[in-house]
C-alpha cells in the first residue's frame, strides 16, 4: 500500500500567503480611507474659506 505524501508544508505556506495578502488588502483599505478623510477635511476648510470671502 502506498503512503500519502506529506504536503502539510504546502498547506501552511498557502495559508501564510493568503493571510499576508488579506492583511495587505486591509492595510491598503485603511490607508485609502485615512487619505480620503484628510482630503475631505481639506475640502471642507477650503469651502469655509471661500464662503468667508464672499
- Report the 10 Å Cβ neighbour count for 25: 10
List, as one string, the DSSP characters of 9-37: HHHHHHHHHHHHHHHHHHHHHHHHHHHHH
How many Cβ atoms are within 10 Å of 47's Cβ, its own excluded? Answer: 10
5-43 tens-digit pLDDT: 999 999 999 999 999 999 999 999 999 999 999 999 999
Q: What is the pTM of this model?
A: 0.76
Amino acid at each position: 500500500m502506498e503512503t500519502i505524501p506529506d504536503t502539510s508544508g504546502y498547506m501552511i505556506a498557502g495559508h501564510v500567503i493568503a493571510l499576508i495578502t488579506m492583511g495587505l488588502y486591509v492595510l491598503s483599505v485603511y490607508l485609502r480611507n485615512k487619505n480620503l478623510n484628510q482630503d475631505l477635511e481639506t475640502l471642507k476648510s477650503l469651502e469655509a474659506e471661500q464662503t468667508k470671502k464672499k
